[in-house]
Structure 1
Amino acid sequence: MGSDPKGRAFVIMGVSGAGKSTIGAMLAKALKCDFLDADDYHSQANKEKMRQGIPLSDEDRIPWLETLQDTLRENIINGKTVILGCSALQKQYREILRAADSNYEPGSYCSLVKFILLNVQVEVLVARLEKRAAEGKHFMPATLLQSQLDMLQIDNSEGILKIDATQSPEAILNHIQNALI
């Protein structure tokens, strides 16, 4: 198996409203690969909790992250590049996703799974979430935003690419592509 091409995964991460689905789908199209939305992998119970404004616990999140890990691993093993839109707010959650690379050494941050953080100011996020809720486009209410912001942990040693996501989607995509080359 030595020379078989390895797949890789790029996780577009950030809090709700940062633009993960929009940017992830655009990046997937640009790289001619699949885009996976982590929200599609949530259990009905998780979606219902969030709809009711109840933040998820680790007990809710870990099985969801393990399902995402399995999906990423399958793509990587099959030599496919894939884009995943996933909040991945805490280092422990990103470690679960990094471990989709079967050669990953925990804590090394050297994985075929790479993270791109969409950074957005709170006021912009609130406006985006309120607009989405008014359009009936998402189950995540703006009231849960603060709990997500409180959870967001970024350690510079992880080597996460940080992008200003208040720019146009095209500018964001260009920044990401330039950083990946």
Structure 2
Amino acid sequence: MSLAGIVVMGVSGAGKSTVGALLAERLGWPFEDGDAFHPPENVAKMRAGTPLTDEDRWPWLGAIAARIAAARAAGTGVVVACSALKRAYRDVLRDGQGDVRFLHLTGEPALIMARQAARVGHYMPASLVASQFATLEPPETEADVIDIEVEADPPAVTQKALAALRRRGDLP
């Protein structure tokens, strides 16, 4: 089975966009940053330091799932950076299909919060990272999720992700 999508998931500051873009480049697939799918109201809430609710997230997740479905219909793959913090969110992105894999970028909260605080020009304040860790439902029992530690630099993290996907038989 070929993959329709790889979702690079985790809390803000884990490196989803950076690793996702590198992974897409290595695979020759398009890359989509999930942040671009947020409606303006969500961005305004986050910019103001207000955590999103599930109701805020459903349309956003639906738009990302539609992008994965388009890749599926076209017979191509897509790499998407998306927090996918709860199992229900990941289920929306799976869309009942078995052709989506999740790379869960994990790391010590202090490391990730420091990375988020160092970001320039991003609407997500570092103060919301703690709420993301609190919301995160670890995907420990989900067979289509691979945990990838993010202490190394992004190219090394990307290499670990590719190796893990190949070991599982998800990539040639």
Give, in angstroms, the shift of residue 19 of structure 1.
Answer: 0.1
Q: Is the 8 A contact 1:38 1:84 kept in 2?
A: yes
Separation in 2, partners of 1:131, 1:7: 34
Following superposition of structure 1 onto structure 2, how do residues 1-181 of structure 1 map, counting pairs within 5 Å?
8-99=4-95, 104=97, 111-132=98-119, 135=120, 137-159=121-143, 160-181=145-166
What is the TM-score with the length of structure 1 in the denominator? 0.88
**Cα deviation digits, residues 103-150 of structure 1 (max 9, x gap):** x3xxxxxx1111000001111112111111xx3x20000111111000
**SS in structure 2 of the partner of residue 158 of structure 1:** coil
Q: Is the 8 A contact 1:6 1:78 kept in 2?
A: no
- Computing the radius of gyration over CA atoms, which structure comes out larger, 1 or 2? 1
Runs of 4 or more off by more than 2 Å in structure 1?
none
Is contact 2:6-2:78 (8 Å) kept? yes
Is 2:20–2:79's contact at 8 Å kept on the other side of the alignment?
yes
CA contact (8 A) 1:115 1:161 kept: yes
Where does structure 2 lack aligned partners over 5 or more consecutive residues?
167-172
RMSD across aligned C-alpha pairs, in angstroms?
A: 1.3
- Residue 156 of structure 1 aligns to a residue whose secondary structure is coil
Partner amino acid, structure 2, of 1:131: A
Contact conserved, 2:3 with 2:100, CA < 8 A, in 1?
no
CA distance in 2, matches of 1:153, 1:7: 24
Q: In 2 relative to 1, CA 177–157 (structure 1 residues): closer, same or farther, beyond 3 Å?
A: same
**1:155 Cα deviation after fit:** 3.4
Q: Which amino acid aligns with 1:143?
A: S
Equivalent residue letter for 2:25: K
Where structure 1 has 5 or more consecutive residues not aligned to the other structure, the ranges are: 105-110
> What is the aligned length?
165
Separation in 1, partners of 2:6, 2:139: 18
Relative contact order, higher structure (CA 8 A, sep 6+): 2
Could you tell me the TM-score, scaled by structure 2's length? 0.92
